[in-house]
Amino acid sequence: MHNDGNVVPLHKASTDQATHSPLARLPVILLQVRDKVAQQLRQGLQELFDNADDTLFEMADRARNDVEQNIFFEAMRDLRLKRKSIERVFLEQFFEAFVSLTQYDVTQAALPQAFDASAPQPNDDLERNVAVDAMVSKVLSRDGFALGQLTARLSALLGRELVDQHNPVGPALLCEYFLQAGRNLGVEIKVKLIILKLFERYVLSDADQLYAEANQLLIASGVLPDLKPAPARRASDHAAASVRAETTEADTRANGVQIDDNVQEVFAALQELLLHVRGSVAPTLEISAQTQPISTRDLMRLLSHLQQYVPAPQAQDDFDLRNQLEQLLTRVSVKSGKSRVVGVADEDVINLIAMLFECILDDRNLPDSLKALIGRLQIPMLKVAVLDKSFFSRSTHPARRLLNEIATAAMGWGECDDHERDSLYLRIEQVVQRLLNDFVDDPAIFSELLADFLAFTSDERRRSDLLEQRTRDAEEGRARTELARQRVEQVLNQALLGKLLPQGVVVFVQDAWSKVLLLTCLKHGDQSAEWHADVQTMEQLIWSVQRHDEPDASLRLLALVPGLLKSLRDGLSSSAFDPFATSEFFSELEALHVQLFERAGQKNEQPGDAPMMVEVLEEIILRTADEGPVETTSVRLPADEACLLQVDQLRPGCWVEFQEDEENTLRCKLAAIIEATGKYIFVDRTGMKVLERSRTGLALELRSGAVRTLDNTLLFDRALESVIDNLRRLNHGK
């Protein structure tokens, strides 16, 4: 049988030396079984990886926080990078398992350690092993008969007893191959369990086909053809197996009673806290007839009516939902002749939403110009909360997520006169207007708007992340340049300070050779041979233009000059120094060297022959023309100063607000902390650098109140927590 070209090369080293390998002693039919199974396993692995991205992306989308979301995004990236390696190692181990069939002690081999449940193990290993045990048991219970027949045929073919646990196609070893192949994945246990589930779905679920085709090949070759055939699995069984990985969600839906109980439990706890604020939504007129609560459907009609009259953002401060609803109820009561009030549960929802929006509109982390827009969402959010109480208990509720996503996107939104032209402002305005115009009683509109808004913000985030990365790269490059420049300043001052030298040489070293040293330091580092060679060239140049009284100084200078000139020319050429200036300097240097040789032969020096000399007394400071002002501060703060500790708690991604003057503030995000220079780099929401601060400078601004950190936790959750705290204080006070 022709081997699959995509599989055999993975074990090329073994197959090329078949005559010297245990594999050569395997029957040809067993090689055919191996290659057939390997081809199907490879297809299953490809399906696994093709679907892993979608699965992990969905998990990231449902993540409870940014940290958890990043775990899944990093897992997606790691899996893409290591996919080929995992496939290769998996199939290599599969081939090696067939080679091991020729070893006499194969039946004495220990079971894979992954399945030794009796041994003490870390929690992560225990979780993984429990999952693997369940997967193996499932395959054995479903396809154990066919696996047993395959093991019996392999035993007959090899001439010795083989057990299912050591069958290279058995579920235990297939799982072990996969665990070993993926051992270098840098993912958390929750991600590993998800990937194992995918392995079960796309590889182990078709184990019956592997066993059936392997058995059929052996039967065709006359290996135990009289064994009773394994019963074929029905198509419905295959369908059930293909969706088994999704049963968790289905079970959750089927267990709706439990979900409803949880929702009711949360809402009941909120109602206990709301007990003392009831009675705020009631008619102002006393009606003699018996009081009658309105139905939830009638309440939704009243809210839909009010929804059409929500004022523009400029007049939002004059709109009081509870007052407006009270006036409507009064009209209804007068018209019907009965005192109509809102039911207790609905009134609790109204009060809770009203208090939530009061907290939201008082939230200092939300830009003032967007508060009015978000405030217009109060009635749509109230309506969805009346319809679905899980709005308060389920963090993934589409309406709740939409509110949080809007607030998160607005975190870095700056105050500006033309805000109504800003794309983010316009998109939020579209969302608000769409809800006010179209939302009646179908909450599906929130899912639709959430998907659209996430698509919009993800595009904006990709662009800002790209620019932010460029900003970080530029700042890190600037920091490396600054460190290199300081290192060059250090060696220049060590070589020049206190020396009396020809002026032209001092100017050359400071203006020209400093650039050669800077480039070498940036390219090779200050520990490299190239750096030491360039520093030595500078030191030799300085020595060569000084007068020395040693007897052998002239001979040393004569030997030094040719190599020195070559090193100087090579260095200047590598830094693209001005050729004309280079020529002038070398002419001047030649004259200096000639004068030194002549003076060495003269006892009395002629004053007119001496070059213009300068004594280097001040430290050399190298600055580029495009470098901005350097932030300096003479203030030194104690190491345990509270504001310094607060600065040290800042992490890239934190949002802060700088008070520029009495009226204007600047919101920006900490994009990078440059360790080399201690600089804190801040960018706006587009990723553009807006300012930088030193650690001490930032600490002083925090202490004076000129800058404050912004809370970027979820807006709704923050508001709900604040409302609950206020209600608890109110209840304790009474």
pLDDT at residue 129 in the model: 82
pLDDT at residue 260 in the model: 58
Kindly tell me if the per-residue pLDDT of 402 is higher than 90: yes
pLDDT at residue 288 in the model: 43
Instruction: List Cα–Cα distances, 323 to 345, 386, 396, in angstroms.
Output: 18, 18, 31
Percent of the chain with pLDDT over 90: 15
Q: Return the exposure string of 595-629: e unless at least 16 CB atoms fall within 10 Å of the residue's CB, then b.
A: bbeebeeeeeeeeeeeeeeeebeeebebeeeeeee
* CA–CA gap between residue 654 and residue 649 (Å, rounded): 10
Which of 109-123, 180-194, 221-235, 539-553 is predicted least confidently? 109-123
pLDDT per residue as tens digits for the range 209-253 = 889 899 988 888 888 888 877 665 544 344 344 433 333 333 333
Q: CB atoms < 10 A from the CB of 170, how many?
A: 26
Q: What is the CA radius of gyration of the chain?
A: 39
Q: Per-residue pLDDT averaged across 43-68, rounded?
A: 82
pLDDT at residue 534 in the model: 92
Which of 156-170, 303-317, 336-350, 561-575 is predicted least confidently? 303-317
pLDDT at residue 301 in the model: 87
Which of 201-205, 234-238, 404-408, 667-671 is predicted least confidently? 234-238
User: Are the C-beta atoms of 356 and 716 separated by less than 8 Å?
Assistant: yes
Q: Per-residue pLDDT averaged across 58-83, rounded?
A: 82
pLDDT at residue 168 in the model: 93
pLDDT per residue as tens digits for the range 245-276 = 333 333 333 333 344 566 778 888 888 888 87
pLDDT per residue as tens digits for the range 494-537 = 888 888 888 888 889 888 898 899 999 988 888 999 999 999 99
Which one, of 232, 226, 215, 221, lies nearest residue 153 by Cα?
Answer: 215
Percent of the chain with pLDDT over 70: 82
What DSSP state is assigned to residue 620?
Answer: -
Which residues does 166 contact at the CB level (< 8 Å), separation at least 6? 106, 107, 109, 173
Which residues does 210 contact at the CB level (< 8 Å), separation at least 6? 37, 40, 41, 169
Q: Per-residue pLDDT averaged across 585-598, rounded?
A: 84
User: Are the C-beta atoms of 706 and 657 separated by less than 8 Å?
Assistant: no
Residue with tokens 């200092």: 364
Q: How many helices (H) and strands (E) does the chain have?
A: 26, 9
At residue 57 the predicted structure's pLDDT band, cuts being 50, 70 and 90, is confident
Which one, of 693, 602, 622, lies nearest residue 656 by Cα?
Answer: 693
Would you call 565 exposed, middle or buried from its count of C-beta atoms within 10 A (0-12, 13-18, 19+)?
Answer: middle
Kindly tell me if the per-residue pLDDT of 356 is higher than 80: yes
Which one, of 269, 356, 344, 335, lies nearest residue 299 by Cα?
Answer: 344
pLDDT at residue 517 in the model: 92
What DSSP state is assigned to residue 341?
Answer: E
Q: Per-residue pLDDT averaged across 376-388, rounded?
A: 91
Rounded to the nearest 10 degrees, how much is the dihedral formed by the CA atoms of 544, 546, 551, 554? 40
Rounded to the nearest 10 degrees, how much is the dihedral formed by the CA atoms of 254, 260, 265, 271? 170
pLDDT at residue 530 in the model: 92
* CA–CA gap between residue 187 and residue 71 (Å, rounded): 8
pLDDT per residue as tens digits for the range 313-331 = 665 556 677 788 888 888 8
pLDDT at residue 610 in the model: 64
* Phi, psi for residue 614 in degrees, rounded to 5: -135, 145
Question: Which of 15-19, 112-116, 346-350, 710-714 is the most confident on average?
Answer: 346-350
pLDDT per residue as tens digits for the range 452-510 = 888 888 888 888 888 888 888 888 888 888 889 989 999 999 888 888 888 888 889 88
The mean pLDDT of the chain is 79
Q: Domain coordinates of the chain in residue numbers?
A: 9-253, 258-441, 498-615
pLDDT per residue as tens digits for the range 672-699 = 888 878 899 999 888 888 898 988 889 9
Q: Return the exposure string of 577-591: e unless at least 16 CB atoms fall within 10 Å of the residue's CB, then b.
A: beeeebeebeebbee
Phi-psi region of 619 (alpha: psi -120 to 50; beta: other; left: phi over 0): beta
* CA–CA gap between residue 372 and residue 319 (Å, rounded): 11
pLDDT per residue as tens digits for the range 696-713 = 889 999 988 889 988 878
Instruction: List Cα–Cα distances, 560 to 273, 362, 544, 564, 592, in angstroms.
Output: 91, 77, 8, 6, 14
